[in-house]
Amino acid sequence: MASAKTDLFDQKLNTSAALFKALAHPARLAILQYLAETKVCMTGDISDELPLSRTTVKQHLTELKNAGLIQGKVDGVKVNYCLDPKRVCELGKIFNEFYTIINQPGNYNCK
């Protein structure tokens, strides 16, 4: 059985990559920013706040939910979306740790 190339890397790098991938689209960043700015669970249609169709927004919400960055709770026919503060904090720690690793002072002499 063939293994995925991601299996060649440790769990920490795979976790980081999955989170960074979830952030790799401006619509997803806009959704996260909107939820952070409103500081409430969004009961209405988030697509009203973005220049995208409902179907497209739903796909981005699914990606963010799968990454654990947002929570979605069904309330009748609507879904309430809000940030998952624990996961957002975890994202900050992962980013800061990765940034510290790659931001090592030195003379790289790249020409």
Yes or no: say if 93 and 100 are a contact pair by the CB < 8 Å rule: no
Of 97, 68, 98, the closest CA to residue 83 belongs to: 68
Compute the distance between CA of residue 67 and CA of residue 18 in angstroms, rounded to an integer.
Answer: 7
Compute the distance between CA of residue 57 and CA of residue 84 in angstroms, rounded to an integer.
Answer: 18
pTM of the model: 0.82
Q: For 39, left (φ over 0), alpha (ψ -120 to 50), or beta?
A: left
Yes or no: say if 80 and 72 are a contact pair by the CB < 8 Å rule: yes
From first to last of its 111 residues, what are the pLDDT tens digits of the chain? 556 888 889 999 999 999 999 999 999 999 999 999 987 777 667 888 889 888 898 899 999 999 999 998 877 777 788 999 999 999 999 999 999 988 877 766 666
pLDDT of residue 38: 85
Neighbour count for residue 25 (Cβ, 10 Å): 14
